[in-house]
Amino acid sequence: IRYMIKKIPIIFIIAFVVLIVGFIFLSGNKSAEIIKIIAYFNNDKMDPEFSCNKVFPVEREIAKTEGVARAAIEELLRGPTDKEKAEGFFTNINSGVKIQRLVIENGVAKIDFDEQLEFQIGGSCRVSAIRSQIVQTLKQFSGIKDVIISISGRTEDILQP
C-alpha cells in the first residue's frame, strides 16, 4: 500500500505535465491565415434581362494557399451559397465539374476540366455564361491576362452551343 501511495502523486505529476505540454502545443498552433478571393456568378436580380456573359463578383474567404487561382475556381465550382442564391446569384456550370489541370505561364491560365463541364449544355447564351464565369474568376489575379479553357485536353470543339 505504501508503494501505491508513493506512485499516485507521480502519476498525477506526469498527467499534469502532459496536459501542460499539450496546451502549449495547441495554443502555439495559430489558425490558418485567411485570404479573400472572388468567384463570378450570374445574378437575376442585378441583371434581370440576363445578359449572357455578364457576371457579378461574390467574395469568399478561404485558407491562404499558394494555389490561389485553383482555389478560386474550386469556389466557383461549389456554386453560390444559400445566402447568395437568395440574393439572386446562380451558376450555369454543371455540378460535379472537376479541374484536371491548371497551369499559369506568361500571363496565360490554361485550365483543363473534365467532361462534366459540357455535359448536356446547350445554347450559345449558356456557353457564353460558363466561359465568363471561369474567365472572370481567373482574371481577378494580376498575373493572369488571358485564359484558355479545355476539356480533357481539347480546346477546339468544346463548349459549343
Q: How confident is the model at residue 142 (pLDDT cuts 50, 70, 90)?
A: very high
pLDDT beyond 60 at 35? yes
Q: What percent of the chain has pLDDT over 90?
A: 68
Average model confidence (pLDDT) for the chain? Answer: 88
Instruction: Read off the pLDDT of each residue in 30-43 and give the average, rounded to a whole number.
Output: 89
Alpha-carbon gap, residue 136 to 20, rounded angstroms: 49
Asked if residue 23 has pLDDT above 90, the reply is no
> Average pLDDT for residues 1-7, to the nearest whole number?
54
Nearest CA to 109 out of 135, 72, 78 is that of 135
- pLDDT-derived band at 5 (thresholds 50, 70, 90) equals low
- Return the pLDDT at 160: 75
Write down the pTM of the prediction.
0.79
End-to-end CA distance of the chain: 86
d(CA 154, CA 77): 20
When pLDDT is cut at 50, 70 and 90, the band that residue 19 belongs to is low
